[in-house]
Amino acid sequence: MTGKVELPLNLGKTASEYLEELRRNLEKAQDYATAHTEKAQQRYISRYNLRAREKSFEIGSFEIGQKVLVQKTGCQTTLIW
């Protein structure tokens, strides 16, 4: 029987006990994932901030007709005239 496994009819717990245990396990998994995501995000922020520099421009920094990169939203950067 390749790919199929016969399960015993009685697994030692009722359906409601099984579902309650499943719910608890899913909550634990969610808590772990949330904690891991928060830690990973803090690492990403720290690494990014190591090399990030403040950007500032003054009036007259660019000439008319000069190409410049403009960040519109999020990560999208567009070359404009």
pLDDT in tens, 3-39: 676 766 666 888 788 889 999 999 999 999 999 999 9
81 part of a folded domain: no
User: Considering its fold, how many domains does the chain have in total?
Assistant: 1
Determine the Cα–Cα distance for residues 48 and 56; give it in Å rounded to an integer.
Answer: 18
73 part of a folded domain: no
Q: pLDDT confidence of 2, banded at 50, 70, 90?
A: low
Q: Each residue of 32-41: b (16+ CB within 10 Å) or e? A: eeeeeeeeee
> Which residue range(s) make up the domain with 37?
13-52
pLDDT per residue as tens digits for the range 29-81: 999 999 999 999 999 999 988 888 877 767 766 666 677 666 666 665 555 54
58 part of a folded domain: no
Extract the tokens encoding 53.
């520099």
| pTM higher than 0.85 | no
10, with CB counted inside 10 A (0-12, 13-18, 19+), is exposed
25 part of a folded domain: yes
